[in-house]
Amino acid sequence: MASLQARPSCGYSDGWRSLLTNPQSAAPGEPSTGAPLAVAVRGVTKVYRRGIEEVRAIDDVTFDIRRGEFLAITGHSGAGKTTLLQLIGAMDTPTSGSILINGHELADMQDSKLTRLRRDEIGFVFQHFGLLPTLTVAENVALPASFGGKRKPPDVKALLERVSLQHRMTHRPSELSGGEMQRVAIARALVNGPSLLLADEPTGNLDSGTSERIIDLLQSLNGDGLTVVVVTHNEALAAKSDRRLLLRDGKAEG
């Protein structure tokens, strides 16, 4: 059961998805009003097998994320934060329970649909940036747009202006600082116009000054209406979120 130190960001709108009409859909302790749900996590468990040993990385977690919300998932190392983020991001499937993204039940979707969902609805930011070293900044940002689905070429320049890196368009990742690389990764995550931005330790490899800029950027994007979920150890980043979800040994704690 999730313990949500809630700071609701938006008003609740009309009955949006079926899950909202389900009295079991909202987790106890969660604010009952707010924007439509962007993510609904219901009793999700993820079990890994390590040889003969079973590792319960996520253990019966339930919570909602509303549109336009800024959620920070915190917890110590090995608590299951990244696993949970990957489950929300349709990168992995839960052992049991269900996850709905913008009303789509992930368990019902085939790999091709999950891929389209990741491409069109979700933006990912990784701790290790995940930039392709052979591509320029502009090419890295434009890359997900080339995966299909978009007929119009992306406005890479505008995206890089948004992250204040328009002067670095033709540079390679190796010529950038860590903070710059992370901003490129954020611009890349935004290129297909997602409604949900997932960031896994986005400041984990950065110094405090650089982290500050990334936090400001994420907050600014959230201010523009983007739903943001970050996994972080960074207290300053967590403090800027609307809510925190604390994980301990795979369980959401209150």
Partner 1 sequence: MLGLAIRNLRRRPFRTGLTLAGLAVSTGLLTSLLAMSDGYQQGLRTELNRMGMQMMLVPLGCPYDAAARVLKGRDLNVTLPESALLDVRADAAVAVAAPMYTAAMPRPASGRTDLWMGIDDSTRELKSWWKFTPGSTWFTAPDTVILGADAAQTEMRKPGDLFYCPEAKKELRVCGVLERTGTSDDSLFFVPLATAQALFHQPNRLSGIAIRLKDPGETGAVAERLQKIKGAQVVTMAEMMGTFLNLLGAARSLVLSIAIVAIAVSLLSVFNTMMASVLERTRELGVLRALGLSRFRSFCLMAAEATLLGAVGGTLGIALAVVGGPFVERTVRPTVPLAPNHGLVPVTLVSAVYCLALSVIIGLGAGLYPAWRASRLRPAEAVREG
Q: Which is nearer to partner 1, 119 or 243 (CB)?
A: 119
CA distance 143 to 132: 9
- Spatial neighbors of 146 by CB under 8 A, at least 6 apart, are none
What SS3 state is found at 83?
helix
Least distance to partner 1, CB of residue 15, Å: 30
Q: Which is nearer to partner 1, 33 or 134 (CB)?
A: 134
Tell me which residues touch partner 1 (CB under 8 A).
82-83, 86, 89, 91-92, 111-112, 115-116, 118-120, 124, 126, 128, 130, 132-135, 143-144, 146-149, 188-189, 192
Phi, psi of 54 (to 5 degrees): -100, 130
Least distance to partner 1, CB of residue 210, Å: 21
**Contact between residue 46 and residue 94 where contact means Cβ atoms under 8 Å apart:** yes
Least distance to partner 1, CB of residue 104, Å: 15
Least distance to partner 1, CB of residue 197, Å: 12
Q: Which is nearer to partner 1, 100 or 122 (CB)?
A: 122
Q: Which is nearer to partner 1, 108 or 111 (CB)?
A: 111
Sheet strands side by side (includes 104-105): 53-66, 37-50, 96-101, 104-105
Please report, in angstroms and rounded to a whole number, the separation of the first and last CA atoms in the chain: 8
